[in-house]
Amino acid sequence: MAELEFILSKVEEETLLKTALGSSCWFVPDINYGTAKPAHVTTYEEFKKYRERTRMFFILHESYIAAPLEMREILKDGQRVFFVMQRNGGPSIDFMSSVEFIEEGRTKINPGSLAHHKTFWNPKTRRNEETPGVLLKLYRELSAVVKKVATRHKVGVRTYWIGNAVHDRIKSGQLDLGIVPQR
């Protein structure tokens, strides 16, 4: 799995997401659904509404989608719900938003990421298939957007692209990283 881990402000994430939307992408929120039909988010305003419920989204584009995302059914609290089965259908670019929170009276931020898998399950052909080159190209383009608004930092053994606005808030003492460096 290719993954770019980042720690971005809402404004920096907005730049990334609007770039994807401007390229005719749409987002599917990783939430429970009442039917087997997932949401098809095409505006930043819609994204913000769903962002209140989840930080994980699947980024799709007509140029590389080989099959609809697979929806699985489960019972949750006595209710029948559907969820997107990751890596089944699509394929997609996985987007996870950075998240700010308060802990022990301090504002902290945890990382988000852009990721894609080398293969995906195509329910139409009933086999694992390689991720198409056009998805890889879009992934690289979106990664470049992150790298324009962020700087690479090593935190323990991991590497994060920390947004310039986030870095300024950390340096001024307004924000702490919510991650514990691994050794």
Q: Is 6 exposed, middle or buried, given 0-12, 13-18 or 19+ CB atoms closer than 10 A? A: buried
Task: Convert 130-143 to b/e letters by CB count within 10 Å (16 or more is b).
Answer: ebeeebbebbeebb
96-107: average pLDDT: 95
Given a cut of 90, is residue 183 above it in pLDDT? no
Q: Mention every residue, 6+ apart, whose C-beta is less than 8 A from residue 48.
A: none
pLDDT grade for 156, boundaries at 50, 70 and 90: confident
Given a cut of 90, is residue 64 above it in pLDDT? yes
pLDDT at 181: 66
| 35: DSSP letter | S
Q: How far apart are CA 153 and CA 175, in angstroms?
A: 16
Here the tokens at position 139 are 């992934």
Average per-residue pLDDT for the chain: 95
CA distances from 157 to 179, 181, 182 (A): 12, 7, 6
Given a cut of 80, is residue 166 above it in pLDDT? yes
For the chain, domain boundaries:
2-119+131-163
The values of phi and psi at residue 35, to 5°, are -135, 175
pLDDT grade for 84, boundaries at 50, 70 and 90: very high
pLDDT at 179: 83
